A and B are shown apart, each in its own frame.
Chain A
Amino acid sequence: MTKLKFIVCLMVLLAITSCDENCDDFCPSGPLLSRLKINLTINEENPEVEVTLFRGRIERQDTVLEEVVSELVARYELDADGYYSATARYKKGNKEILAINGKKFSLTEDDCGCEKAQNYSMNLTLKD
């Protein structure tokens, strides 16, 4: 029974991978950009939030951009390869809270074997 399942799966995989994808001879040139979505907390105490994006971890201080955001979601386009980190500065009572998160961006391949950028999201919402 297991052998039969294995053979069926193998046949399905072969059928899929052998399809003609109508690929061009060359992959598209130009920089590959990933879309990054950052989720934020916007409330009475924090009607706008200071967001900073870094290439690498925050200790490297390699700032990509810094801006004040007043929406729940901030969207950016970044080079599609490498590690990025981000911070969002909040107030909570008499505390100042710096939310930190990071993500490794990597390339993937499309059906024609060309490199493709991926989209990512990062959660910088304030802890309840």
Chain B
Amino acid sequence: MIIKSLCTVILLSGLLFETFGQSGDQELIGKTKKWDAQIAINNYFPSEDYLLGLNLGIINSNRNLSFFTEFDIRPFKKKVLDRQGANLYYQLSELRYYLGLGAEYSIFPKQGNFGVFLQPSLLYTWGEYSGTDIDVPKGWLVLPKIGAVWQFGTNGFLKAGVAFLDDHTERENQASLFIQISGVIN
């Protein structure tokens, strides 16, 4: 099982490396290619509300505008309290998922690889409580993200910023640290 996993990782990393590595050598002859596919991995902190996600979408040739679908999950169960009576509370273990659409606009200075980005998403959130049939609060939410972006190579981006997550669950702070790594697939 471990060997299989290692092989998969080696193969995937090989494919990714070749995909990103060759992009700088590609030349477009004859016609201009306006949009490319983009893949991104999302991380939201703090740890008790950690979310891991994947974006798939398209990005323009200037690399400053993109549209994507977003899917995030909280891989660890979170303990939430649900009031059942005057003094009785259920402590529930919540799993949560998010699926939706988003867009991103980035501004880069004329020279340099650092810029800023604004990335709003419209997501639907749902989930489940382990061990019980009690319904989990679910519904739509707007998830704005803003921060700094570093472009590495021609097609890689590392972003760090703040996300404001009001997601129908028990949460001490709606502001989350947002870290995303993304790459263009030519």
Contacts and interface: CB of A to CB of B under 8 A. Distances in A.
A85 B15 CA distance: 42
A13 B79 contact: no
A95 B130 CA distance: 22
Contact of A98 (B10, B77, B89): B89
B25 interface: no
Contacts of B15: 2
13 contacts: A12-B3, A13-B4, A16-B3, A54-B131, A57-B133, A86-B131, A95-B88, A97-B89, A98-B88, A99-B91, A100-B92, A103-B130, A127-B81
Contact of B81 (A2, A13, A86, A97): A97
Interface string A19-54: 000000000000000000000000000000000001
Contacts of B3: 12-13, 16
How many of chain A's residues touch chain B, expressed as a range? 20 to 34
Contacts of B132: 57-59, 85, 100, 102
A126 interface: yes
Given A2-B18, A13-B4, A95-B87, A101 B11 contact: no
Interface in B1-35: 3-4, 7, 10-11, 14-15, 18
A9 interface: yes
